[in-house]
Amino acid sequence: MNKEERTPLLETRDLKKYFKTGAGLLHAVDSINIKLYQGETIGVVGESGCGKSTLGRTILKLIEPTSGDIIYNGKNISKLSTRAMRPLRKEMQIIFQDPYSSLDPRKSVIDIISEYMLIHKVYKSKKETYQHAAELMDLVGLARRYANVYPHELDGGRRQRIGVARALSLNPKFIVCDEPVSALDVSIQAQILNLLMDLQEQLNLSYMFVTHDLSVVKHISNHIMVMYLGVCVEFATSDELFENPLHPYTQVLLDAIPEPTLESRNQPFKLIKGEVTSPINPKPGCRFAGRCEHCMEVCTQITPEYVETEPGHFVACHLVNGR
């Protein structure tokens, strides 16, 4: 069955999230359209402040959307109340960026992993809940001897395994991974990434993997969305994006990935020059225009359309779309 015949597990339609500021509306997420299928991963990349984490939290309705639709498992959840969303919390979870600040320092490992199951009364007794929590520790590679220790007694990798186990405790279908490895050492990053991929294969999970590291996102994602100041500038399969990047911003991000070779050590870095456009009440035009070396007059006047240039490859750029 091809994708045209399958129903997406998650879909957003013209999703927007604006924040009120003293200077006007800050366009954190602006007209995002994505489809995520069961068992797949969408990587969301871009520099800090582009709206990646806000997008993930808005989809989970931890932040209420300004407008647009969030379709989960065929149901529009964008207007659901907090009470109506509660049953869906079991199916939609998040792994936070900082594996320390996201854990309650007053609770032991077993209590942290059990917390969601106790709130939702998944099991009849506390003993059953703790037994399942111990099984989750086995699943994520966390030794049971750590069950009664506290987060501050563990290193970053083990703390993040607690976060993964907690997210899995309610048997979710969809997980937002909000930069889950950015605060970890490189060797630990690889362990957590491999763990997430193994769990995805075992449990048929769907991920939205938020990161600023393109080399990381290529390793785990089926599709990649590149965001810049709240908008999607390019979307394609992981292989296609790396082989044929079309948007100038995507090209610069790829150029910034360091190559671990002796020949590359003397090569100059390609820097992005110019000023970042304000996301508050943005004017018509491409939001990357002020930093783009290919900027044309039309780029500063008309917002580029989001066009499918090749099957499954979308880009919003006047240069690419021939205007």
Split at pLDDT 50, 70, 90, the class of 181 is: confident
Query: What does pLDDT average to over the chain?
Result: 90
Q: Residue 209 is which amino acid?
A: F
pTM above 0.75, yes or no: yes
pLDDT in tens, 207-221: 999 998 888 888 889
Contact 160, 177 (CB under 8 A): no
Position 1 confidence tier, pLDDT thresholds 50, 70, 90: very low
Give pLDDT tens digits for 114-161. 999 999 999 999 999 999 999 999 999 999 999 999 999 998 889 999
Give me the pLDDT at residue 186, please.
Answer: 79
pLDDT of residue 269: 65
Per-residue pLDDT of 20-65, as tens digits, reads 999 999 999 999 999 999 999 999 999 888 999 999 999 999 999 9
170 φψ region: left (φ > 0), alpha (ψ -120 to 50), beta (else): alpha
Vertex 91 angle, CA 88 and 92, to 5°:
85
Specify the long-range contacts of residues 191-198, CB closer than 8 Å, at least 24 apart: 191/141, 191/157, 192/157, 192/160, 192/161, 192/164, 193/219, 193/220, 195/140, 195/141, 195/161, 195/164, 196/164, 196/220
DSSP output for 182-235: TTS-HHHHHHHHHHHHHHHHHHT-EEEEEES-HHHHHHH-SEEEEEETTEEEEE
The Cα–Cα gap between 169 and 167 comes to 6
What pLDDT was estimated at residue 218? 85
Tokens at residue 86, please?
A: 């509660």
Q: Which residues touch 199 (CB under 8 Å, ≥6 apart)?
A: 139, 140, 164, 168, 205
Residue 266 φ then ψ, to 5°: -100, 0
For 190, 201, 242, 310, the CA distances from 40, given in Å and listed in that order, are: 19, 10, 18, 21
List CB contacts of 125: < 8 A, sequence separation 6 or more.
none
User: Is residue 84 classed as helix, strand or coil in its secondary structure?
Assistant: helix
